[in-house]
Amino acid sequence: MSPATPAKMTYCFLGDSGLLVSKLALGSWMHRADSNTVESWYEMMKTAFARGVNFFDNAELYGNGQAEEIMGGAIKKGVEEGAWSREDLVVTTNWRLRKLATPLGVAVADEGRVS
């Protein structure tokens, strides 16, 4: 039996943003007790990028903020080593509005800040 030939990555536009992203994204969810490193994430991202993935997901609550730091380090290393330019990658992020006590008992978001 001959080895399988990898399928070519397909792409689509991300909403109305004009950004062309791979239909497959690499997500960075991790538990804060996981032993991830910049080097291990760089290798994963480099492998994914070589196979056409340009879409990476992150969030401030993944690994209690650790995922953002590690992926950021991996992206920086890839730029420094010439594996990709920052413009080659699309990174999404999401965040959770934590409930904060106010006199009215609600959290208010103003220009990206919670007060």
Our measurement of the distance from residue 22's CA atom to the centroid of its chain's CA atoms, rounded to an integer in Å, reads 13
State residue 94's pLDDT score.
79
> Has this prediction a pTM greater than 0.95?
no
Query: Is there a domain that residue 50 lies in?
Result: yes
Catalytic (active-site) positions? 62
* Six token digits for residue 101: 């006590």
- Phi, psi torsion values for 4, nearest 5 degrees: -65, 145
Query: Could you read off the pLDDT of 16-28 as tens digits, one per residue?
Result: 999 999 999 998 8
Query: Is there a domain that residue 101 lies in?
Result: yes
Query: Is there a domain that residue 1 lies in?
Result: no
Query: Is there a domain that residue 5 lies in?
Result: no
78 within 8 A of 42, measured Cβ to Cβ:
yes
Task: Find, among 34, 43, 31, 33, the residue nearest to 74 by Cα.
Answer: 43
d(CA 90, CA 73) in angstroms, rounded, equals: 15
Query: Is there a domain that residue 6 lies in?
Result: no
Query: Is there a domain that residue 2 lies in?
Result: no
Residues whose CB is less than 8 angstroms from the CB of residue 1 and which lie 6 or more positions away in sequence, other chains included: none
Query: Is there a domain that residue 66 lies in?
Result: yes
Query: Could you read off the pLDDT of 51-102 as tens digits, one per residue?
Result: 999 999 998 878 877 888 999 999 999 999 999 999 999 999 877 666 555 5
78 within 8 A of 46, measured Cβ to Cβ:
yes
How many domains is the chain built from?
A: 1
Query: Is there a domain that residue 86 lies in?
Result: yes
User: CATH code at 108?
Assistant: 3.20.20.100
- Which residue segment(s) compose the domain that 31 sits in? 11-114
